[in-house]
Amino acid sequence: MNRRKISILGATGSVGTSTLDLVERRSDRFEVIALTAASKVGELADAAIRTSAQLAVINDPALLPELQRRLHGSGCRAATGRDALTEAAAGEAELVMAAIVGCAGLEPVMSAIESGRTVALANKEALVTAGQLMIAAARRAGATILPVDSEHNAIFQCLADNRSCDVAKLVLTASGGPFRSRSREEMAAVTPEEAVAHPNWSMGAKISVDSATMMNKGLELIEAHHLFGVSSDRMEVLVHPQSVIHSMVEYVDGSVLAQLGSPDMRIPIAHALAWPERMETPALKLDLARIGSLSFEAPDLDRFPALRVAREAMEAGSAAPIILNAANEEAVAAFLARQIGFLDIIRTVEEALTRTSATPPHSIAEVIDIDRRARSMAKELMSEMAA
């Protein structure tokens, strides 16, 4: 059997290392072409050597000499810069795991799509900011986008070969995050350590904070809108604290299909890696008798306004999702650096949406320009708050 050629963008992150875990278990099935990272040079070099990758790309140019030193004699080429990242995304690999966090992943994801690759997409911010452009580019280039986010992967599985006109609504489940039962007053004083301690999932810091504010679910609504072509009025969020049902599709006849599994990202990642086949994973098998009961509740938009703000940005369309995402990335980074409080995250995002003016983007360059302007607006707002 021919091995499937794969590149992993963001190979040192939470999704990236879970992907490596699966790929390394099945080296008979996958051949690693390229791996990339921002600054974890040691982990990148180790993974490149272990997997016999051809190319390792480090985002920070100052770390290139160290990467070259670590890879010396391994046969793996060390590189940095935009062209190298594009080569990793659109070079020899047939399958690209897009697992960079944030808008930084936008250009490489677009390169992979424009080159007609199969893209396993974890990097939701890319789709949130440039969904329309990406879906159109995928159609033109014949690229396939496979959702890795557990909710979207669940919906993708539940949609299977059903006709889209038979779908009544999509139901995205949400764990509710670590502050599901906290009051606004209590949330005002939470620390970054508390915010990243997700009850069910082990993830990178940014997405963990997004889960705590529930902005993550808002970004996922926008992601689902682009991936599945479903409008806001046909998408619902349902809080389900056990994270066993990863999302559902309701059909016009009243049937509801759900995808269930342990909360382990290796399950949706494996689905995307092996699609249209399946592959085994070391994830715990679901034991419903042990879990006993599943519970559900409606999201509280007063305590978690990010969900409302993100939905409004999706409905407004145009540049609003780009501004939402950029301001959120900046505010989350500032919260993690203890420069602002937890509730200031959504304040910054709402205010940035009001104060940043922009016209609808027609190219990735225009998306990046709006992203840049929204980031400086968010920074300005946060220094005003601190003053």
Which residues of this protein are in contact with ligand NAP, per CB under 6 A? 10-16, 37-40, 59, 99-101, 104, 122-125, 149, 201, 203-204, 206-207, 265
Tell the smallest beta-carbon distance from residue 103 to ligand NAP (Å): 9
Asked whether the beta carbons of 63 and 36 are under 8 A apart, the reply is no
Tell the smallest beta-carbon distance from residue 323 to ligand NAP (Å): 18
Closest to ligand NAP by CB, 59 vs 356, is: 59
Tell the smallest beta-carbon distance from residue 40 to ligand NAP (Å): 4
Nearest residue (beta carbon) to ligand NAP: 13
Asked whether the beta carbons of 148 and 122 are under 8 A apart, the reply is yes
HSE, CB side, 13 Å, CA atoms: give it for residue 379.
7
Closest to ligand NAP by CB, 201 vs 251, is: 201
What single letter denotes the amino acid at residue 153?
N
Closest to ligand NAP by CB, 148 vs 351, is: 148
Pairing type for strands 245-251 and 167-174 reads: antiparallel
* Helix, coil or strand: residue 341: coil
Closest to ligand NAP by CB, 99 vs 374, is: 99
Q: Which residues pair with 170 in a beta bridge?
A: 235, 249
Tell the smallest beta-carbon distance from residue 7 to ligand NAP (Å): 13
Q: Which residues pair with 15 in a beta bridge?
A: none
Tell the smallest beta-carbon distance from residue 219 to ligand NAP (Å): 7
Closest CA to 242 of 290, 309, 310: 290
Closest to ligand NAP by CB, 15 vs 96, is: 15
Report the alpha-carbon angle 78-83-85, nearest 5: 65
For residue 9, what is the enclosing H or E element?
strand 4-9
For the record, the structure tokens of 357 come out as 């003016």
Tell the smallest beta-carbon distance from residue 171 to ligand NAP (Å): 18
For the record, the structure tokens of 298 come out as 């409606």
Closest to ligand NAP by CB, 78 vs 122, is: 122
- Residue showing tokens 């502050």: 179
For the record, the structure tokens of 384 come out as 């005003």
Asked whether the beta carbons of 52 and 75 are under 8 A apart, the reply is yes
**Distance between CA atoms of 11 and 88, rounded to whole angstroms?**
11
Tell the smallest beta-carbon distance from residue 188 to ligand NAP (Å): 25
* Helix, coil or strand: residue 164: helix
Tell the smallest beta-carbon distance from residue 226 to ligand NAP (Å): 14
Closest to ligand NAP by CB, 203 vs 351, is: 203
Closest to ligand NAP by CB, 16 vs 131, is: 16
